[in-house]
Amino acid sequence: MQAIVETLFDSVYLISVITLGIMMIRGSGGNRQFRLFGCMAVVLGAGDSFHLVPRALALCTTGLENYTVSLGIGKWITSVTMTIFYVLLYYVWRQRYKINGQGGLTAAVYSLAGLRIVLCMMPQNQWISVGAPLSWGIYRNIPFALLGLVVIVLFYRSAKEHRDKAFRWMWLTIVLSFGFYIPVVLWADAIPMIGMLMIPKTCAYVWTVLIGYFAMKKECR
């Protein structure tokens, strides 16, 4: 039952975000903000597919324990692409609210993203090992969480300042995604049921993409 339900859920998720992303790229009409948003959605879906597709294959065939290498590599790729996702979301913020300058803020975003990617590349993560260390899972997610916090604050302040109804809940989607993700990082190995929080986390990302899509439909007529 888990194999069927999880595979269906992940299939709908991947197809939905990639399709919405392509539609946004094609329908942006030269609007850089929504073209970036579309690219961001495609990066999200394509990156997650490297982990979710092997997981679906594992669940529907011989089990997760026989797909350790492909699942580990997929998780590593997803970790990098999720970092890129937030950098693109930062540039969506800059485009939407016509932000100029602020080189220090941009440097901070790139520094956090770069540190996160470097930490993901370290062999100590033991991506393809059954017993990957929790400590490195925490290390690599510290700059990631800080990057997310920066983006949360930026969208919260700007949407409130500009009375931007279309993006008024963008900050909340990111809060929810991290709120569901962090317990998985910390406790999923000890309490496997906590891994179920990845479902609402995924829904939060779908909400993020839908915010951009509906805004494009309204603003690019």
Q: Model confidence over 153-203: pLDDT tens digits?
A: 999 999 999 999 999 999 999 999 999 999 988 888 778 788 888 899 999
At residue 46, the pLDDT reads 96
Q: What is the pLDDT of residue 204?
A: 96
DSSP-based three-state secondary structure for 189: coil
Short-list 200, 188, 79, CA closest to 141: 79
Please identify every stretch of the chain with a pLDDT value under 50, giving residue numbers as ranges: none
Torsion of Cα atoms, 85 then 34 then 20 then 142, to 10°: 20
Residue 23 has a pLDDT of: 94
The pLDDT value recorded for residue 221 is 67
Buried b (16+ CB within 10 A) or exposed e, 153-172: ebbbebbeeeeeeebebbbb
pLDDT, averaged across the chain: 92
Q: Is the pTM of this model over 0.75?
A: yes
pLDDT of residue 190: 78
Q: Which class is 2-219 in CATH?
A: mainly alpha
User: Residue 131: its pLDDT value, please?
Assistant: 79
Cβ burial of 104 (10 Å; 0-12, 13-18, 19+) is exposed
Asked if 87 contacts 61 with a C-beta cutoff of 8 angstroms, the reply is: no
